[in-house]
Amino acid sequence: MKKKILVTGGAGFIGSHVIRLFVNKYEDYEIVNLDKLTYAGNLENLTDVENKANYRFVKGCITDKDFISELFEKEQFDAVIHLAAESHVDRSITNPLEFVETNVMGTVNLLLAAKATWKDKTDKLFYHISTDEVYGTLGDTGLFTETTPYDPRSPYSAAKASSDHFVRAWAHTYDMPVVISNCSNNYGANQFPEKLLPLFINNIRNNKSLPVYGDGKYTRDWLWVEDHAAAIDVIFHKGKNLETYNIGGFNEWTNIDLIKLLCEQMDLKLGREKGSSEKLITYVKDRPGHDKRYAIDATKLERELGWRPSVTFEQGLAKTIDWYLANEEWMNNITSGDYEKYYEKQYAQ
């Protein structure tokens, strides 16, 4: 069945993997990539599909209400996969208003445009991708499920929680077909190096310090980005209207244990003496409102739609390291910007 699908934030980390999967797998679909190309949006992530007949890129911002309205009226999309968002917790602490504008108002602009063009049609779909951080934090036991009450603790998670609520409100108020997924920490190729793994891989490669917040005992579930893209594919095609699906890697790692595993693998791959990378670890002042533990229960997605991760974390980490080491030019182009100065300022506080 032919479909015209708008993917917002498609030049970003997760979005580029989703676009690559859909463009290559569904030749009858027309995939339109809408991205503002902020610091985290990079069309180099999509050079392998940029000339495909079923792919187009449109530069624009979801906070521009008139632009979004005109785009929807012109293109008459059949579905939206909404990934565009400000996503870095540290940045949300220093500039919360930007997160409100993009994550909340941007989402509402998309919902308004979809409602105006879809009217009462029920064969459309607004798929909103969110985060497990909307659930807040966990103690030493328990898992986030789809019915866990929202309890956001950072400006980032508060903005994402708000956008989730608006999507559900549109479904209940205007009968818009919607589906939402909440995912755990993503990792893999093409991730902007403000996030832990690409930052630390690059720092180890260049013998720079590895700044660890607090005691390093913060716990997260980790999801390989290609597995996340596969889950989005399954939910888009098989998910039930108005349902929420949690997507996780079925694993938990404390930050410090993960970093030590990364150091071990990097020493092996770089041919360095065992333990040399671990010496780069430096403990720094904790960030405000740091959630202690996230752990996501993805059994609903497995039980109802048949999805499971294809790799263990150790396997995914090895694939991730190999990609960054083989793509030094990509990393060097990215890190020529100002993100290192940003981090120096953060860790100096």
Say which DSSP state 103 is in: I
CB–CB of 255/182 below 8 Å? no
Q: Which of 29, 55, 127, 156 is catalytic?
A: 156
Q: Which of 30, 86, 132, 227 is catalytic?
A: 132
Query: Quick one: tokens of 161?
Result: 């929680």
Q: Using CA atoms, how far apart are residues 290 and 294, in angstroms rounded to an integer?
A: 11
* 28: Cα separation from own chain's centroid: 26
Nearest 5°: the CA angle 82, 86, 88 is 130
Contact residues for 331 (Cβ-Cβ < 8 A; gap 6+): 193, 198, 202, 324
Query: Quick one: tokens of 179?
Result: 């589906």
Longest C-alpha distance within the chain, in Å? Answer: 64
Q: Using CA atoms, how far apart are residues 36 and 296, in angstroms rounded to an integer?
A: 30
Q: For residue 12, give Cα distances in angstroms to 33, 34, 38, 190.
A: 10, 10, 9, 8
- Any idea which residue has 């290192």 for tokens? 340
Known catalytic membership, residue 156: yes
Q: Which of 35, 133, 146, 252 is catalytic?
A: 133
Known catalytic membership, residue 164: no
Known catalytic membership, residue 194: no
Q: Where are the beta strands (DSSP E) in the chain?
A: 3-8, 29-35, 55-59, 79-82, 125-131, 178-183, 185-187, 210-213, 219-220, 222-224, 244-247, 253-254, 281-284
Task: Give the Cβ contact number of residue 244 at 10 Å.
Answer: 22
Q: List the catalytic residues.
A: 132-133, 156
